[in-house]
Amino acid sequence: MQIRFAAQHPAGDHSLVVPIAGTARAALERFGAAKTGIDAALKRQRFDGEPGASAEHYLDSDGGRRLLLVGIGSDALTGEGAERLGGTVTARLLTSGEREAVIDLGGIPVSADFAARVALGAMLRSWRHDRYRTRLKDKLKPTLATITIVGAPDGAEARWAERYAPLAEGVFLTRELVAEPANIIYPESFVERVRHLTELGVEIRVLGEDEMAKLGMGALLGVSQGSVRDAQLLVMSWNGGEPGATPTVFVGKGVTFDTGGISIKPAQNMEMMKWDMGGAGAVAGAIKALAGRKAKANVVGICGLVENMPDGNAQRPGDVVTTMSGQTVEVINTDAEGRLVLCDAITFAQKEFRPKTIVDLATLTGAMVVTFGHEYAGIFANDDKLAADLIKSADASGDKLWRQPLGEAYDRLIDSPIADMKNVGPREAGSITAAQFIQRYVDDGVAWAHLDIAGVAWSDKPSSTYDKGATGYGVRLLDQFIADSVER
């Protein structure tokens, strides 16, 4: 879909979108005598002008033009409100038969950023994954090709092009990676799917299993050993800041399919485990967004890419592995594999880049879904400022976070009688003990945060900025964090 900005309505056939602020109806005065019919239509549809509410009418005096009224609320002139406006328009019109829509912001005291985020919301909501749907009915196919925003302040188009269009592209990459089935996206093909980032100036390095074995990554390789797909460690470097300055590092869990290994998962809903690489997908998308907008920061994205399968060579419960850090792990449950991937990836990041800040993202625990459902991701951190900065960026971006505790009492729950630690604790506090495991691999002096995104990488219901399926969670959060806390 294409986004345009214009001073006047384009000629030709298009639907017209008018934002309505709560119960105020001043925006309808422009329609003259037709206002009476519009008011009646709004009343019939119980339209109250609240954010996200919408109603339709057809203008007899204008050749039957479709008029879409979208509520923005009386106090919703925020970035979130702007995105909801744009997303609501796309959701209503994407498969409606309309080819072009005009969103008229005239008369609303909005900023250039607000107008640009209307475009962002509209674009984000347009993404679909129809690649394998060969018999899609015509009425279900997207028709909306262009949205033109009229009446935006000066600077809105530039703000969209320079700040938000690259962000949308990053989100789309993440959604694509997460939505693809596991026979299409596996460690090697994940790498190939992101190689185009070199065209944006991203440096890409890939370590295969032999290289990882030489480095001592016994935990990550242990997860992969039951699969015919070789593990990969993907390193993406964006150097947009001061030359030689220490980078901020993002680490993503990239289990491209998770059967649970020998500790096999129940068959019901196992197909959903294609998105167990949502953390790695978010890191890749964030690097694309940052490179696309030429962020003035040095950022490294590292993705530990594996497939967890239960063949005759698979890791067994009770096995002991040695991690790259030298610490040993008793593998109690092979379905607690993500932390085994992350611990070696984090050790590699520290040895290779000496970062001051590491943020890891992982669809790590079902316990996090029990805790928060599908509204928030959990954040665990060893640094209060980093936690506060990430939560602030989460609030601004819409990728919500809620902080969870860490502590010595929880850490003792993963002590092993025969190794340095177990990869799982007891049933209770499952998300916390997973975070405690990862923390054992964070060097002194490194500010670290772990984001458990298990409940938010995928959605079974649509929102204002995404349809059912892959949400792209994490891209906007990481991009906002770099903008707020790293760029100067």
Tokens 């520290």 map to which residue?
Answer: 350
Q: How many CB atoms lie within 10 A of CB 107?
A: 14
Q: How far is CA 54 from CA 14, 85, 88, 103, 390, in A?
A: 18, 10, 8, 13, 33
161's CB contacts (< 8 A; 6+ apart) are none
CA neighbor of 212 nearest in space, from 362, 354, 360, 348: 348
Residue of 84, 159, 293, 339 marked active site = 339
Q: Is 265 an active-site residue?
A: yes
Q: Which residues in 72-171 belong to E strands, given as ranges?
A: 100-104, 146-150
Q: How is 361-390 classified by DSSP, letter by letter?
A: EE---HHHHHHHTTT-EEEEES-HHHHHHH
The pair of three-digit structure tokens given for residue 60, joined into one six-digit string:
């007899």
Q: Alpha-carbon distance 171 to 35, whole Å?
A: 40
Q: Is 139 an active-site residue?
A: no
The pair of three-digit structure tokens given for residue 304, joined into one six-digit string:
């530990």
Neighbour-count burial for 169-191, b at 16+ CB within 10 Å, e otherwise: bbbbbbbbbbbbebeebbbbbbb
Residue of 229, 265, 296, 392 marked active site = 265
Q: Alpha-carbon distance 374 to 21, whole Å?
A: 29
Strands 328-330 and 421-422, bridge-based pairing: parallel
* One-letter identity of residue 211: E
User: The dihedral of CA 80, 81, 86, 90: what is its sign?
Assistant: positive
Q: Known catalytic residues?
A: 265, 339
